[in-house]
Structure formats: structure tokens, C-alpha cells
Structure 1
């Protein structure tokens, strides 16, 4: 009876990232280690508001990556690195390959290919090329830091994050090819289906210069409603 017999509570393992007290670099890397979760939340938010087929399939690739990671960990059954104290109760015992590294390299690889092949940002070809290279390079650096954070914080070995990064990169390439060269030809069927219309699923891929198209149309619509409201107030 009493406190000793109370139920044991554990924090959610996916958000509980530890770093050594007083280690400023560890504190920074712990936040980098959180980036995959932040990215996933941002992507889910984008899906809710845009409901675009391409974005939904981008998230679908993450789900495939998670299944692959789960299967590979059961196949290799490689333990995580030794800790200064027992923290295994909070995390999955198997660490090969690193889920963080695999997930973020998948996201960054898919996005990098999309930026290079389908970028519709304004500017001359030279400016777009520089912008795209800078964006891809930034993505690579962030992905490397995320992978390094898992080693620095003693959640994975170097081999585990390297394999995770390779699996995520390969999966990003394969999934991009599948989505954009096979699946997207059926996008019109999805958007025209009654269920797709009910959930307001859209396909933006046929629209050139999408950002300008959305801006111009939304600006004109907002202006029209402002004028309509002003006329209503006058009447």
C-alpha cells in the first residue's frame, strides 16, 4: 500500500531526448534530434490545409520508411551503444539502423530531388540554380547534424546512423520515382472521385508557377470580397 505500490509512469519515448547536464553542445544537438518530429508535425499540418496528392504521398513515404526501419531492426537485432546508466527502458533495444537518420535523410532526399526537378520559384535559370543548390546543401548539412546528434547523445553507433542515412537516401530516391513517374498519373482519378471531392483532395502538379498562381488568384478573390463587404456597409 502507499506510494511504493502506485503505478509506474514513463514519458513518451519519441519525445524524451536526454543530454548530459551542463553540456551546451548536447543541448543544441538534442534539439536537432527533435527535428524529425517537428518536421512530421509540420508536414501533417500542411496536409490538413493543402490536401495535395503530392504532399500526402510524401508523408506516405515516411510511413513506408517506418515499416522498413522496424523490419530491419528486427532483422539485424543490433543493440544500441552502452550508456553511462541504464536508459534502455525508455527506448527500443535495437538500434540498427537509426530511425532518426533514416527518416530525416528520406525527407531531405525526396525534397532535394523535388526542388531540383520541379522548382517553380521565380528568377533567371542561373538564380534558380544557385538557390536550389543552396537549399539542397542546407538540407544535407541539417540531415548530417541530425544523424551526428544521435551518435553524440549515445543513442546510436556511427555504423547505425550511416546505415540509416543510406537506407533513407535510397528510399527517398525510389519513392520519388514511384510517386512522380507512376502514381501521379492516377491523381486525376483520386481528385475526381466522390470521396476525394468530399475530403477536398487536390492535385497541383499540372499548374505551372504554382506560387504565383495561388497568390494572384487568392489576392484577386480577397480584393473582390473586400469591395463587396465595403459596398454592403455603404448600403
Structure 2
């Protein structure tokens, strides 16, 4: 194969190039010989999850690694439709946890497993503590505390109690699988996910206490603001057993709406009878 020779740009070519519009000059301006001036493109590392080709378990665990981002999308959707202070603070805790994780990583400066270091163009080099483990254990712990303290009904049936316990157990198993997936896919060491999980649990307890026992004092002032009313921001914290209350009230309202619709349709039919 003949070698590729550099383009000889003479005065005639330069005159022709000068007529090209500025918006398209980057398409024909070649870098100097031997210089790679093209920008380096990197994927967003937090969503770039790899697994070994043909590894079915790795494929499943890669999806478990995506659970924190699925939770974020679910929370944003819930905030959009419910707009309650508790859920907004729940999501704010995740962002604050991410900031803490970032500064802990640059403080510890502990590298990821050796197999991942070959792909450092795609991932940040520091891995202590694991961000995935920290974020999902935060989600799991905060939600579990909320279910225990805000959803349990005194004198409720045994089935209701079992349902809450099963929900918390499923959350715990999912958090363990998220942490295990980070080790299995060679993104973190066992120590990194353990420390990340512990930090997530501790921070969730602190953030829940701050939200429900300190910040809650200022919520009435916030919800009375004109902007909060315009955005329909609301506070459910004074309502005990909020999940049960929302179910009962919304179920009763939906039933009343159905009955009104049936009665209206019947009246319309009777009116139209000659």
C-alpha cells in the first residue's frame, strides 16, 4: 500500500480555501503533521457500565448497578406529580451524598481494582468509597426508616406488618446486590463497597433526623410562600401514617367521582327519553 502523502497547499488552494464560510472551515483545516489535535470524547462514567461478553450473571448485575439511576428517575417523577417536601428532601439528600462521596474519593485517593485501571479513560481513577453502594444504601435506609416510622398503623393487621417487613427486606437485598455488582464487575474492591454502604447508612440516618426533626420546623413558612403555592409545594408530614391516609382518601374520592358520573349518565338518559 502506497504511503499517504500530505496535501500540498499552494497559493491557488489558499485562495479557494479563503472563500469557504467560517462555519465549515473546521472540516478542511487539517492539523499539523504528527499532531493529534482532535478533542477526546468520554462517555458519562456514572451510566457507562460494562460486563464481560457472554456473562449472563454480569448482564443481570449490570442492571442492578443501574438501580440508583432508576431510583433518581422515579423520585423526579414522584416530585413532579406529588410535589411534597419529604420527597424533595429525600432527593436532595442523594445529591448531598454524592458531593460527600466525591470529596471522600479525592481525600482517600484509593485506586480502583487493577482490571478497571486499563479503562481509566472512561472512569474516575479513585474508588474509595463506592458511589453506587453509598447512594443506594442511602436510598434503602432512608426509605426503610420512613416506612417504619410513618407508615406503620397501630393495631394494623398482621398482613400489613408482614407487607412492610417484606418491602424493607427487598430493599436490603437490592442494596446488597448493587454493592456486589460493583465488586463482580471489577469497578470496586470489597472494602470500597463496604465503606460506601456504611457511609450511606449513616448519612441516611443523619439526613432523616435533620429533615424530620430540624428542617420540619421551617416547612410551614416555606409552604406559605407565594412561589411554593404557585408550584403547588405541599407538606404531608403532620399527617400520621401518610401512605394509608393517601390510599383511603384517594380511594374514597375516586369512588365518589365514579358514583357522580354514573348518576349523571343515568339522569342524561332519563332526560332524553321522549
TM-score of the two chains, using structure 1 as the length reference: 0.89
Mapped contact 2:152–2:161 kept (Cα < 8 A): no
Which residue of structure 1 lines up, in the alignment, with residue 144 of structure 2? 112
Question: Deviation at 1:9?
Answer: 3.2
* Stretch of structure 1 that moved more, 75-84 or 59-68: 75-84
Q: Which has the higher contact order (CA 8 A, sep 6+)?
A: 1
Question: Deviation at 1:61?
Answer: 0.7
From 58, 76, 80, the equivalent of 2:90 is 58
Structure 1: 5+ residue runs without aligned partners? none
Structure 2 distance, partners of 1:96, 1:115, is 30
1:93 aligned counterpart, secondary structure: coil
2:68 aligned with 1:36? yes
Question: Deviation at 1:206?
Answer: 2.6
From 137, 160, 165, the equivalent of 2:169 is 137
* Stretch of structure 1 that moved more, 181-190 or 109-118: 181-190
Structure 2: 5+ residue runs without aligned partners? 1-29
2:233 aligned with 1:201? yes
Structure 2 distance, partners of 1:189, 1:230, is 47
Structure 2 distance, partners of 1:19, 1:180, is 40
From 237, 243, 249, the equivalent of 1:213 is 249
Structure 2 distance, partners of 1:210, 1:168, is 29
Which residue of structure 1 lines up, in the alignment, with residue 134 of structure 2? 102
Structure 2 distance, partners of 1:186, 1:226, is 44
Which residue of structure 2 lines up, in the alignment, with residue 185 of structure 1? 217
Deviation string 1:105-125 (CA, Å, 9 cap, x unpaired) is: 000000001111111579834
TM-score of the two chains, using structure 2 as the length reference: 0.77
Question: Deviation at 1:229?
Answer: 7.8
> Structure 1 residues 127, 175: CA separation in 2 closer, same or farther (over 3 Å shift)?
same
Instruction: Provide the alpha-carbon RMSD of the alignment.
Output: 2.5
Question: Deviation at 1:164?
Answer: 0.2
> Structure 1 residues 70, 198: CA separation in 2 closer, same or farther (over 3 Å shift)?
same
2:47 aligned counterpart, secondary structure: coil
* Stretch of structure 1 that moved more, 166-175 or 204-213: 204-213
From 117, 134, 146, the equivalent of 2:178 is 146
* Larger Rg computed on CA atoms: 2
Which residue of structure 2 lines up, in the alignment, with residue 92 of structure 1? 124
Mapped contact 1:120–1:210 kept (Cα < 8 A): no
> Structure 1 residues 182, 155: CA separation in 2 closer, same or farther (over 3 Å shift)?
same
> Structure 1 residues 59, 72: CA separation in 2 closer, same or farther (over 3 Å shift)?
same
Which residue of structure 1 lines up, in the alignment, with residue 198 of structure 2? 166
Which residue of structure 2 lines up, in the alignment, with residue 25 of structure 1? 57
Question: Deviation at 1:69?
Answer: 0.3
* Stretch of structure 1 that moved more, 196-205 or 118-127: 118-127
Mapped contact 1:80–1:155 kept (Cα < 8 A): yes
Structure 1 distance, partners of 2:262, 2:85, is 31
